């Protein structure tokens, strides 16, 4: 990750909120410390016959509320501290929405763009084999993340199943539908963003029908968020962007058509009838709703004062720095934090895991309604804490999450 050390920031959040809640220092130490870390260095035979050593990690932050859960990221610059932070955030995300998981995360240091499909499969299978000593459907359930996908999870599940001697679909989530995946998984994070934005509009007294929206990032989360807000919530999406730049049209964009244009040319830039803008300019547009769904640390103390949106819903993980949080709160911007806003991904992963364990699957309408109920309840619980304690929504979400995990620790006790 770029910017400040994410693990240091994650620990600071826990320390600050834990002390606000009057927690004992020993409890805070437990909450900010991963329970298990596994590092692996494994050889893979490349297509040209050479051997190359890859480095990977799996960090389990907490299992006090249930099995560990979290993604696997393939990125050349991933570090152990990145994985530690992501694992911790998963614990809070699961606790905020009330699903019985703790947090985990994994990663392999590699550049997917420089690997063939067969090399990528061998990397995945060897990594799966090496971390199989700590994962399992009742221990730790991986899922896709940056530069991993349903195919990655299929290889992962097959490798684990070969070791077990029978099919174990519940060992990972985010799989293809044909081998135990769940309906609605691909758009789950985006759908949760839409649901919490709808709730936020109610409390901010904004008519969501026709409300203007800007979405930074037009990957899976960003484009589905733009599509759902336009098609289902009735919003007017006026700006979107990707890594090459952004586009703006005050009359409104049609996200499905923009996606079709991007598939042909590789970028949203140049979309007919739109004005080209930068990613930085998109963040400062005069819109009702802003969704940063791209990179971390894009909203900082330097540009937070220029943000005009009334609601900021974090589709990405960590797009806002702590300094910016404080500025936005004083400005009256309702920031819906990542551990709440994009928790639909892990929630529908939970649905997939439950379906795999019972070998009984739900239709997409059931998925949507169950997700809506969980997200609306979670938003209202966080908002109630924010109002009662006069704190921003991120602090309130952390209060809810830390309280749930600390209470589970208290009930279970400390072994032995």
Task: Categorize the per-residue pLDDT at 93 as very low, low, confident or very high, splitting at 50, 70 and 90.
Answer: very high
Q: Which of 308, 332, 356 is the last residue of a domain?
A: 332
Residue listed under structure tokens 């080209």: 276
- In this structure, are 143 and 197 located in the same domain? no
Stretch 166-188: mean pLDDT: 96
- In this structure, are 162 and 258 located in the same domain? no
Q: Is residue 42 classed as helix, strand or coil in its secondary structure? A: strand
Structure tokens at 373: 């109920």
Stretch 90-98: mean pLDDT: 97
Task: Categorize the per-residue pLDDT at 297 as very low, low, confident or very high, splitting at 50, 70 and 90.
Answer: confident
Nearest to 339 by CA among 378, 383, 311: 378
Task: Categorize the per-residue pLDDT at 318 as very low, low, confident or very high, splitting at 50, 70 and 90.
Answer: confident
Asked, for residue 22, whether it belongs to a domain, the answer is no
- In this structure, are 147 and 46 located in the same domain? yes
Q: Does 345 score more than 90 pLDDT?
A: yes
- In this structure, are 235 and 292 located in the same domain? yes
Q: First and final CA of the chain: distance in angstroms? A: 38
- In this structure, are 137 and 213 located in the same domain? no
Given a contact cutoff of 8 angstroms between Cβ atoms, the answer to whether 126 and 110 are in contact is: no
Give the span between the Cα atoms of 374 and 82, in whole angstroms: 28
- In this structure, are 147 and 265 located in the same domain? no
- Report pLDDT for 3: 65
The pLDDT > 70 percentage for the chain reads 99
Q: Structural domain tally of the chain?
A: 2
- In this structure, are 73 and 165 located in the same domain? yes
CATH code (residue 267) = 3.40.50.720
- In this structure, are 143 and 247 located in the same domain? no
- In this structure, are 113 and 208 located in the same domain? no
Asked, for residue 112, whether it belongs to a domain, the answer is yes
- In this structure, are 164 and 238 located in the same domain? no
pLDDT in tens, 386-404: 999 999 999 999 999 999 9
The pLDDT > 90 percentage for the chain reads 94
- In this structure, are 157 and 67 located in the same domain? yes
Given a contact cutoff of 8 angstroms between Cβ atoms, the answer to whether 307 and 203 are in contact is: no
Asked, for residue 354, whether it belongs to a domain, the answer is no
Asked, for residue 406, whether it belongs to a domain, the answer is no
Q: Does 158 score more than 90 pLDDT?
A: yes
CATH code (residue 123) = 3.40.50.10860
Residue listed under structure tokens 């969704």: 291
Q: Which of 169, 200, 234 is the last residue of a domain?
A: 169
- In this structure, are 112 and 226 located in the same domain? no
Alpha-carbon distances of 145 from 66, 137, 149, 207, rounded to whole Å = 21, 18, 7, 34
Alpha-carbon distances of 372 from 142, 147, 264, 353, rounded to whole Å = 24, 28, 33, 18
Identify the domain containing residue 51 by its residue range.
33-169
Q: Does 2 score more than 90 pLDDT?
A: no
């Amino acid at each position: 990750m770029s910017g400040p050390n994410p693990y240091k920031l994650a620990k600071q959040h826990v320390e600050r909120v834990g002390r606000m809640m009057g927690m004992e220092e020993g409890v805070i130490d437990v909450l900010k410390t991963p329970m298990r870390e596994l590092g692996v260095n494994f050889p893979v035979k490349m297509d040209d016959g050479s051997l190359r050593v890859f480095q990977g990690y799996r960090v389990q932050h907490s299992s006090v509320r249930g099995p560990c859960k979290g993604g696997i990221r393939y990125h050349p610059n991933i570090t152990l501290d990145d994985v530690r932070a992501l694992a911790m955030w998963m614990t809070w995300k699961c606790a905020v929405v009330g699903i019985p998981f703790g947090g985990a995360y994994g990663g392999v240091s590699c550049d997917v763009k420089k690997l063939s499909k067969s090399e990528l499969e061998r990397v995945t299978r060897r990594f799966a084999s090496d971390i199989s000593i700590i994962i399992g459907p009742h221990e730790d359930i991986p899922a896709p993340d940056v530069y991993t996908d349903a195919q990655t999870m299929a290889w992962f599940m097959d490798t684990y199943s070969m070791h077990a001697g029978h099919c174990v679909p519940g060992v990972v989530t985010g799989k293809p539908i044909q081998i135990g995946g769940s309906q609605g998984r691909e758009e789950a994070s985006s759908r949760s963003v839409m649901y919490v934005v709808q709730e936020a509009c109610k409390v901010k007294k904004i008519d969501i029908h026709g409300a203007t929206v800007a979405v930074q990032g037009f990957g899976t989360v960003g484009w589905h968020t733009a599509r759902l807000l336009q098609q289902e919530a009735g919003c007017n999406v006026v700006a979107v962007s990707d890594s090459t730049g952004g586009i703006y049209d005050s009359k409104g964009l049609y996200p499905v058509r923009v996606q079709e244009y991007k598939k042909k040319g590789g970028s949203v830039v140049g979309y007919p009838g739109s004005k080209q803008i930068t990613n930085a300019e998109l963040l400062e547009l005069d819109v009702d709703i802003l969704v940063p769904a791209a990179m971390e640390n894009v909203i900082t103390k330097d540009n937070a004062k220029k943000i005009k949106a009334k609601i900021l819903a974090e589709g990405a993980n960590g797009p806002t720095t702590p300094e910016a949080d404080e500025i936005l709160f004083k400005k009256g911007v309702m920031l819906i934090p990542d551990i709440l806003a994009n928790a639909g991904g892990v929630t529908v992963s939970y649905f997939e895991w439950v379906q795999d364990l019972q070998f009984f699957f739900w239709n997409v309408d059931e998925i949507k309604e169950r997700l809506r109920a969980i997200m609306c309840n979670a938003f209202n619980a966080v908002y109630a804490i924010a109002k009662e304690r006069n704190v921003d929504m991120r602090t309130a979400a952390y209060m809810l999450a830390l309280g749930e995990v600390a209470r589970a620790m208290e009930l279970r006790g400390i072994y032995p």
